[in-house]
Structure formats: structure tokens, C-alpha cells
Structure 1
Amino acid sequence: MSIIEDAICWDGVSAKLCMYVVSPGSKPLGSRDFQLGGVAPKDILGPFLMEDEFEVLHGKALVFYELTLEAYPNDLKAYLTHCSAAALADGAEFVWFQFDGGFDFESVLSQDFARDVYFLQPAGGLPSIAIDDEVRTGKGWAQVVLGARRMLIGGPRIRSIEDMIAMKGTGSVIDDLTPVSREKLAQLRADYPQIPDQFIEFLEKVGFGCIGDGGYMIYDGVAEPGFIYSEPESVDWILLFGDDFSGCNAGFHVSTGRIYEIDSAFMSAEEVANDFLGFIAAKISEVASW
């Protein structure tokens, strides 16, 4: 039995999923919202409005549900995504699942408790899922959880290129980025007309280079996979724009502009953001939290 299965099925009888919903919608979620195919809770505790006495979440409401299932779902990822989608569709700002146990607002989504969290999803964003024990206990997942905490509690509030421009010169992790000349950008646009406008604007007004002290590298253009990988066939539909100095590159889907990260060890690509602005805003916040 995996760590996560053992933790969710801790009583040896059923599976308990602890779901936290920030800024609840207009109505409580019910049994229909938590039903997916043949999987449905036999018992639902909640919604319980949790008292944030010290306003750690700056006045945002936090609601708790405990879902008790007959058994560990065959497809836990699909079930968690379904439940989260129901909450987000009703107006939630953020949803996460974590193991049962003690909870306090000061440690909510903190790096020290990242191993207890196995699902995160903000409104308008893709879910981050760590039901694999190795993923959940790794440094990368801890940074994902910490980034979510910063979204809820504090840190750079980045919603536009203008927010990033305002950050430069304030001691931020993007202070050292160097703007790309308009002439070079014009050539880049001519060579790769499918590059999203957001990336061009970022290079022009914010720049390229290293975010933070070795945190993340943004290129001054794009690189085709064949320039970096010896066998690029499986990812030749991606134009690369950055990397983490550890073998993980990010790039644009040449047709949709959506953002993918490539695991160079397996030459596999995973979608991580809807667009460049969403990706780079999250990356800057993540590096700033280190």
C-alpha cells in the first residue's frame, strides 16, 4: 500500500478525503457534486466554516468538507479533479486536499506541511496533483505548495506585465532581467510567427535572463527541441523558452500557445499553464518564495 493510500484509508474501513475550499460559492456542495460514475461519498461532513481568528487569509472564507468513501477510488486523480471542479464552478477561489490531522491557519499550505497536501487548484488554473508518493515528498512539490500559500496569504500579486514592470528595481527576483531590442524581437516574430504576444511583450518590457539567484532562466528567444535534445521527435511540437537549470525545459505548443514542461529523463511533456503570463507569474512568485 502506498503512503497516500495508507493515509487516506487510515481507519482500515473506508477512505476519508479532507477538502478545503477558499471563498465558497452561493450554495453548499452536496452528494451530487461529489458523485463521479460509481464513486460517491457514503457520508459528507460539512460544509464547516473555519474560523480564521487572526485573519491569516485576509478575510477570505475557508470551508471544510470531509468525504467518506467506501474504498480508495480506482482513479483518485479523476475523482479529486471532479470534486474541485464542482467547487470552482460554484465560485470558489481555491481548492485543496490534504491528509486528515491537525489544522491551523498559520501553517496552511506551508512548506513544512507540503507532504500532507496532494491536490491543489486555483480558479482559472490547472490542478496540481501529487498522489504519487515520490512526487509529493520531493522538493518540487514543496515549492508548488508554497507558491499556493503565497497566492492566498502574501507575496507578489502578479496579474499583468505591468505588475512585473513595477517590480523591477525594487529588489525583486526579476531585477536583473534584460529587455530584448525591438529589432531582435521583430526578427524573432518573423522567424516564429506562432510565438504568443505575451512572450514578445515580456521580453521587450521585462526581459530575459536569470530569475533570482539561479532560480529559472528565460531565453532571449525560443529554441527548437532539436537544438537541446538528441532525440527530439516526441516533443517537436514545442518551442522552448526557458529552463530550471536541472533538465526541465518549458515551451509553447506551436498551435495552441499553451505551456508545457519537458522531463528530459523520459522525453515526456506535461501541460502546466494555459498561457505564458500565467506560467511566468507563478514562476516569479515561486522563485521569490525560496
Structure 2
Amino acid sequence: MGSLVVGSLMQAISWSGAAVVNLFVIGRDEAPMADSDFAVSGMRPDRVEVFPLRDDSVWDRTAAVREYDLVFNAPFPDLGAYVEACLRRAGSGADTVAWAAFEGSFHFDHLLTDDVADQIYGLCVNGRDPVVTWSSDVLKSEGWRRQVREARACLERAFPGAAEA
């Protein structure tokens, strides 16, 4: 992983001052993840903010949808390993899809769609290994959009009709 790519990623996730990893999780687990669940790869966020997300007009009510903002006040050495470990942990629940994305990318009308694929830098679908990339070339590629579409297809299988955009 080149320092230029990591540097631009750090700028993107640190636009507000602190570095914030935005992790989105959709699954059947009613209880939110605990702060201690994000102490992985030898790192622990300084603060974890949890936001339940809901859109009753389009969303399957059996799904628990949450955003976790993992806030770091100081730089950290291996962002890739950390995000991968968080995605693995978050994506371990039944019928769960988890992804890491830039601030402002989440909207129920655009869950894991092509138009936001280049804003999603990590994915994990229950039963699979997480995939993380920091390369802007990869994020803009057809291969990455295909991986995002596959995650959306898993979401639609788990919650039929729930992800209609």
C-alpha cells in the first residue's frame, strides 16, 4: 500500500480534524456492537458513536441498520488491517452486510449501488472474507463496482424487497 494512497485516504477520513472510519452494518442482530468490539488489530478508537438508521417507507423492519463512527484523535499505523478486522467482526452476524465508506455516502436509496461504489472502501458479507482497498483507481473500476453489486445482491437475498431503490 503506497504512502500517497494512504495519505489521500487519511485526508478523506480526517476532513473534520479527527480520523473517522464510517462503518455501516445491516443485519438481524438487534443489539448494537459494543465499543470493545472495535478494539482490534492492536488499535482502539478514542470514541465510538452509534447511529440507528431507519427509513420505514422502504426498509425491511426485520433489519437492524446502524452506522458506527470510529473516531481516532491520533494517527494510527495500519488503517487497512484495522478496517479489515472491524469489517470481519461486524460482518459475522447472520444475514449481515457491512461496509466502510466515506462520510455522506449513506442513503437508503443508494445502498451498495454503482453511484456510490467509489465511496465504499471496504466490504464484508457474512461467510466471506472482507475486502478493503485504498486505491482510487480500484474504487473507480468496474471490478470494484461488481464487488459492490455482489454485496448488494446478498443484501437483497437476506431482506427481499428491502433494498429497492
TM-score above 0.5: yes
Aligned equivalents of 2:60, 2:45: Cα separation in 1: 29
Aligned equivalents of 1:73, 1:37: Cα separation in 2: 11
Aligned to 1:78: 81
CA contact (8 A) 1:24 1:63 kept: no
Q: State the TM-score, normalized to the length of structure 2.
A: 0.80
Aligned equivalents of 2:63, 2:101: Cα separation in 1: 19
Give 1:32 shift: 1.7
Aligned residues: 153
Give 1:143 shift: 1.4
Give 1:17 shift: 0.7
CA contact (8 A) 2:125 2:154 kept: no
Aligned to 2:55: 52
Aligned equivalents of 1:67, 1:135: Cα separation in 2: 24
Aligned to 2:12: 7
1:33 and 2:51 correspond: no
Aligned to 1:42: 46
Give 1:91 shift: 4.4
What is the CA RMSD across the aligned residues, in angstroms?
Answer: 2.4
Aligned sequence identity (%): 27
1:130 and 2:136 correspond: no
Which fold has the larger relative contact order, with Cα–Cα distance below 8 Å and residues 6 or more apart in sequence?
2
1:153 and 2:151 correspond: no
Aligned equivalents of 2:62, 2:29: Cα separation in 1: 15
Q: Which amino acid aligns with 1:88?
A: G
Aligned equivalents of 1:113, 1:72: Cα separation in 2: 26
Aligned equivalents of 2:11, 2:44: Cα separation in 1: 20
The 5 Å alignment of 1:1-290 reads 1-2=4-5, 3-11=8-16, 13-25=17-29, 27-46=31-50, 48-56=51-59, 59-91=62-94, 93-153=96-156
User: CA 1:112–1:89 in structure 2 vs 1: closer, same or farther (change >3 Å)?
Assistant: closer
User: CA 1:77–1:24 in structure 2 vs 1: closer, same or farther (change >3 Å)?
Assistant: farther
Aligned equivalents of 1:36, 1:115: Cα separation in 2: 26
Q: Which amino acid aligns with 1:76?
A: L
Give 1:18 shift: 0.7
Secondary structure class of the residue paired with 1:32? helix
User: CA 1:58–1:110 in structure 2 vs 1: closer, same or farther (change >3 Å)?
Assistant: farther
Gap runs ≥5 in structure 2: 161-165
Aligned equivalents of 2:142, 2:92: Cα separation in 1: 31
Structure whose alpha-carbon radius of gyration is higher: 1
User: CA 1:70–1:80 in structure 2 vs 1: closer, same or farther (change >3 Å)?
Assistant: same
Aligned to 2:163: none
Give 1:71 shift: 3.6
Gap runs ≥5 in structure 1: 158-290
